[in-house]
Structure 1
Amino acid sequence: MKTAYVFPGQGAQFSGMGKDLYETSPLAKALFEKANDILGFRITDSMFSGTDEELRQTKVTQPAIFLHSVILAKTLGDDFKPDMTAGHSLGEFSALVTAGAMSFEDGLTLVYKRALAMQKACEATPSTMAAILALPDEKVEEICASIDEIVVPANYNCPGQIVISGTLAGIEEACEKMKEAGAKRALTLKVGGAFHSPLMEPARVELSEAIETTHFSVPVCPVYQNVSTVGETDPSVIKKNLIAQLTSPVKWTQSVRNMIADGATNFIELGPGSVLQGLITKIDKTATVSGKQ
């Protein structure tokens, strides 16, 4: 009977996120104010009362979700006893900080640098992502490989749900081919660019320098990373996977299956939303899932 704590990524944000924590926990309030100082602007204003449009800006979204998740975990005190952690894309930074692989301050600094680097890469090449429903993984991979443009599987979310990533023309062509192949839906997403694809290479290069110079410790439990999908504890391996993550697919289905194979029976999602709880249930109906916001 092992407990896995999981942390959401971009898209889980909502206006008012973290406000209750700030108002009810002195520790949370202190950490939020420290975050405002580190970032050089009051991200709490955007989190607690920002518009949807404001919260959708990558430079706000990523640190906001990270802060909600990590500060929530810290307010649990001795009740937070993970046997393993994992996070979806951005959520991997929350998983690493809560498992003690790096400090709160370093984690937030890296997340903000990641957000700015990704924003820059998005502006350099117009690109997008699309959700593909009810096609086998192998068929999605085959269709992506058949297109001359850059189009790749970006998120293996659960069986029958893959997100693809690439150039505007590539995604448009891929969606048509996916529908012809029998996909129930092939829906372009409202995102700033092609995350987890080769088009994020400039961001990967920029972030790799920051990650290499950040101190990482051995975590208190294995962290199941998006790239390798297995529980990692070696700081050098964790760094390598974190750098590769920006241009590699998020293998969430595979990671959850590996956590279950390693004894996880109870999954607790910490942070805004409940997307991961739904995905885990679709990956394995026997898993117990819950969440805290």
Structure 2
Amino acid sequence: MSLAITFPGQGAQTPGLGAPWRDHPAWSIVDDAERATGRPLAHLLLDAPAEELADTRHSQLAVLLASLLAWTALEPRLDEPVVAMAGHSLGQITALIASGTVAFDHGMRLAVARADASADAQAHAPGGLVVLLGAEEDVAVAACDAAPGRAWLANVNAPGQVVVGGHADGLDAVAARAKELGARRATRLPVGGAFHTPMLVEVAEAIGPVLDETPFVVPAIPVVANDDGAVVADPAAWPDRLRTHLVRPVRWTDTVRTMRGLGADTLIEVGPGSTLTGLARRIDPELELANVAVPDDLAALGALVHGAVR
């Protein structure tokens, strides 16, 4: 048995998402994160209301920390090899920390810079995302012609699920056009940013100085980048990868297929929610799937993956 580990992105946050971990030994990483960033973060995991967590500045850090809590608890229990890691959007930062590509303190400071810059960009140029169900990439690209220069492909998540991002005033036209082209449903997501589109170019510029100061090393576990679904063998490539990642579509279908090609037969989503296992089921129905979001999942996982966890 060979494992692939995936980490969720922004949108997986819910109030109290870290509360089940409060008395677990893994909680020490929250204290470490507060020291590394100089910010109070525990409340984001424990008692922050939904309105506060909806702010990109907070939601990204809450999801990242909740995912790292789960990974810190899971990693020592794994008996089977982990052949690859990946994270969806923000989750890519989590994967870089978890894999050892970037040290924890450096990774946390990078995550803060990314979250702050993303929130600032949303304030300056509000945007949005529309998920298209029953549509493929060609339909999404064609639908964007309804708002030229105002909407772009943002995610290729799974067969029959793609996402378009852009200026709020153009997304209704894009959604209508997508339905004309055969999309079964077009749903506006509850976010205020056009993530992974050219609208985030200022975020890529803003985090440049932090990226340039961040040491990246060859990881213990290969990380698959989701701007093209390729393993990044040269750690020196990550600064440019993380800049372009912000303005290019997330190609999650390619990412999962690459992990499968590396020998993974079991995919574990580590962190809040179950979106990524749902997508993986559509990408490759033969993958065995599991989730670790709370401490109770650790015990249940052993039966699901047939002894990969002790």
Per-residue deviation, 1:77: 4.3
Contact 1:149–1:170, Cα closer than 8 Å, also in 2: no
Contact 2:266–2:287, Cα closer than 8 Å, also in 1: yes
Contact 1:131–1:161, Cα closer than 8 Å, also in 2: yes
Q: Which residue of structure 1 lines up, in the alignment, with residue 34 of structure 2?
A: 36
With 233-242 and 106-115 compared, the bigger mean Cα shift is at: 233-242
Q: Which residue of structure 2 lines up, in the alignment, with residue 266 of structure 1?
A: 266
Q: Which residue of structure 2 lines up, in the alignment, with residue 56 of structure 1?
A: 54
The answer to whether the aligner puts 1:168 opposite 2:161 as a matched pair is: no
Which runs of 5 or more structure 2 residues have no equivalent in the other structure? 294-310
Contact 1:149–1:167, Cα closer than 8 Å, also in 2: no
Separation (CA, whole Å) in 1 of partners of 2:246 and 2:46: 28
Question: Taking structure 1 as reference, are residues 184 and 103 closer, same or farther at Cα in structure 2, changes over 3 Å only?
Answer: same
* Number of corresponding residues: 291
CA RMSD, 1 decimal: 1.5
Per-residue deviation, 1:258: 1.5
Which of 52, 64, 67 does residue 65 from structure 2 map onto? 67
Kindly provide the amino acid, as one letter, of the partner of residue 87 in structure 1.
G
Per-residue deviation, 1:12: 0.5
Contact 2:8–2:63, Cα closer than 8 Å, also in 1: yes
Kindly provide the amino acid, as one letter, of the partner of residue 267 in structure 1.
L
Q: What's the secondary structure of 2:82's corresponding residue?
A: coil
Per-residue deviation, 1:136: 2.3
* TM score, norm. by length of structure 1: 0.95
Separation (CA, whole Å) in 1 of partners of 2:31 and 2:76: 23
Kindly provide the amino acid, as one letter, of the partner of residue 202 in structure 1.
E
Separation (CA, whole Å) in 2 of partners of 1:255 and 1:129: 21
Percent of counterpart pairs with the same letter? 33
Per-residue deviation, 1:146: 5.5
Q: What's the secondary structure of 2:154's corresponding residue?
A: strand
Matches within 5 A, 1:217-256: 217-256=217-256
Contact 1:22–1:32, Cα closer than 8 Å, also in 2: no
Which runs of 5 or more structure 1 residues have no equivalent in the other structure? none
Q: Deviations over 1:254-273 (max 9, x none)?
A: 11112112211110111111
Q: Deviations over 1:125-171 (max 9, x none)?
A: 12111111112221211222453232111011111111100112221
Contact 2:146–2:177, Cα closer than 8 Å, also in 1: no
With 73-82 and 44-53 compared, the bigger mean Cα shift is at: 73-82
Question: Taking structure 1 as reference, are residues 227 and 77 closer, same or farther at Cα in structure 2, changes over 3 Å only?
Answer: closer
Contact 1:228–1:241, Cα closer than 8 Å, also in 2: no
Q: Which residue of structure 2 lines up, in the alignment, with residue 209 of structure 1?
A: 209
Separation (CA, whole Å) in 1 of partners of 2:12 and 2:126: 23
Question: Taking structure 1 as reference, are residues 77 and 223 closer, same or farther at Cα in structure 2, changes over 3 Å only?
Answer: closer
